[in-house]
């Protein structure tokens, strides 16, 4: 479909972060608008932390209809919102803000975006599976909840600081409904018992180890225990092939990179901003 011309009716969406120059979100969302013929445009806004309050007032004043939120604002933005959806409340972090007639509602589509990619790009299911989550930060929280919602049987969290893994374990266990009971065990990074690794179906790296200064490094080193039975996922999307994924592939494991989650969380935000469905492949192909 043809791109709608900018007019007095054009709706504005965007992403706030600091820095935000390298974001792929404008490409994904603008491609979606063009495909569906929607009169929307999506921009990247670099908002320094001391300007966050002014930026949030600006959303209301200018009638910006939807915003994605990235590092470092995902938690800091919460006091400026009128309401948190259940997805953001559980994780206490927001990656999507919808402006409904001046009322700002925060969502978190990161966890659901991971599930979206998992379903689109792997042949596996999550129901009844045993999962090892490496990391206990913001992304790990969203993914942990989404995995539980998807019906996994057991979750092991490995993290550098055991306290943070413990916080996540406690937080989930205190909010789980009886019907959702899932055993959650925690260990310091690289102290996971062999038997748990062998029995696990899925490993997910949610730490930044493997990107930037740590490119070429992996947060996991027990590769002698990994076989074709395992699915190893990394949520890092740059580089596409991390050392974690490379080592997993060499052991015959199936792999899933982070670009899919990026596409999935973006696609789900798009639907909240516009009320229109956009297929996973449209966003994924941009990346």
User: Which residues are at the interface with ligand NAP (CB under 6 A)?
Assistant: 110, 113, 135-140, 159-161, 164, 189, 206-209, 211, 219, 235-237, 258, 261-262, 265
- The torsion region of residue 212 among left (phi > 0), alpha (psi -120 to 50) and beta comes to left
Q: Identify the sign of the CA torsion 278, 280, 286, 287.
A: positive
Nearest-approach distance from CB 28 to ligand NAP, in angstroms: 11
Q: Output 99 or 159, the one with its CB closest to ligand NAP.
A: 159
**CB of 65 or CB of 157, closer to ligand NAP:** 157
Nearer to ligand NAP, 66 or 258 (CB): 258
User: Measured from the CB atom, is 152 or 236 closer to ligand NAP?
Assistant: 236
Lookup result for tokens 């939807």 = 66
Helix (H, G, I), strand (E, B) or coil at 231: strand
| Shortest Å, Cβ 243 to ligand NAP | 13
- The residues annotated as belonging to the active site are 74
Helix axes 259-274, 110-121, angle to 10 degrees: 120
Q: Which of 218, 187, 48, 206 is nearest to 139 (CA)?
A: 206
CA distance to 122, 164, 168, 267, 270, per residue, from 275 (Å): 27, 36, 32, 11, 8
Question: Taking the complex as a whole, how short is the minimal distance between the CB of residue 208 and ligand NAP, in angstroms?
Answer: 3
Among residues 59, 163, 131, the alpha carbon closest in space to that of 101 is found at 59
Q: At its nearest, how many Å lie between ligand NAP and the CB of residue 101?
A: 29
Hey, what are 89's tokens? Answer: 């409340």
Our CB check for ligand NAP shows the closer of 93 and 105 to be 93
Residue 110 beta carbon to ligand NAP: minimum distance, rounded to whole angstroms? 5
* CA–CA dist 251, 47 (Å, integer): 43
């Amino acid at each position: 479909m043809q791109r709608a011309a900018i007019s007095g009716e054009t709706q504005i969406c965007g992403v706030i972060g600091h820095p935000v120059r390298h974001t792929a979100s404008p490409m994904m969302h603008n491609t979606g608008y063009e495909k569906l013929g929607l009169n929307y445009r999506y921009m990247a806004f670099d908002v320094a932390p001391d300007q966050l309050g002014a930026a949030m007032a600006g959303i209301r004043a200018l009638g910006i209809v939807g915003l994605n939120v990235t590092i470092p604002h995902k938690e800091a933005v919460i006091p400026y919102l009128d309401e948190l959806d259940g997805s953001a409340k559980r994780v206490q972090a927001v990656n999507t803000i919808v402006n409904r007639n001046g009322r700002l509602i925060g969502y978190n589509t990161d966890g659901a975006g991971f599930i979206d990619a998992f379903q689109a790009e792997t042949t596996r299911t999550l129901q009844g599976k045993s999962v090892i989550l490496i990391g206990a930060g913001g992304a790990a929280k969203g993914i942990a909840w989404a995995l539980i919602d998807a019906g996994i049987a057991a979750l092991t969290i490995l993290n550098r600081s055991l306290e943070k893994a413990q916080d996540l374990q406690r937080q989930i266990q205190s909010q789980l409904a009886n019907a959702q009971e899932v055993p959650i065990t925690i260990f310091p990074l690289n102290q996971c018992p062999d038997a748990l690794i062998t029995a696990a179906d899925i490993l997910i790296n949610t730490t930044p180890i493997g990107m930037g200064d740590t490119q070429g490094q992996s947060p996991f080193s027990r590769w002698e225990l990994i076989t074709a039975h395992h699915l190893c996922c990394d949520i890092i999307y740059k580089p596409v092939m991390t050392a974690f994924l490379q080592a997993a592939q060499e052991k015959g494991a199936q792999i899933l990179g982070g670009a899919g989650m990026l596409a999935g969380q973006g696609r789900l935000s798009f639907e909240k901003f516009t009320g229109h469905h956009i297929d996973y492949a449209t966003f994924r192909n941009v990346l």
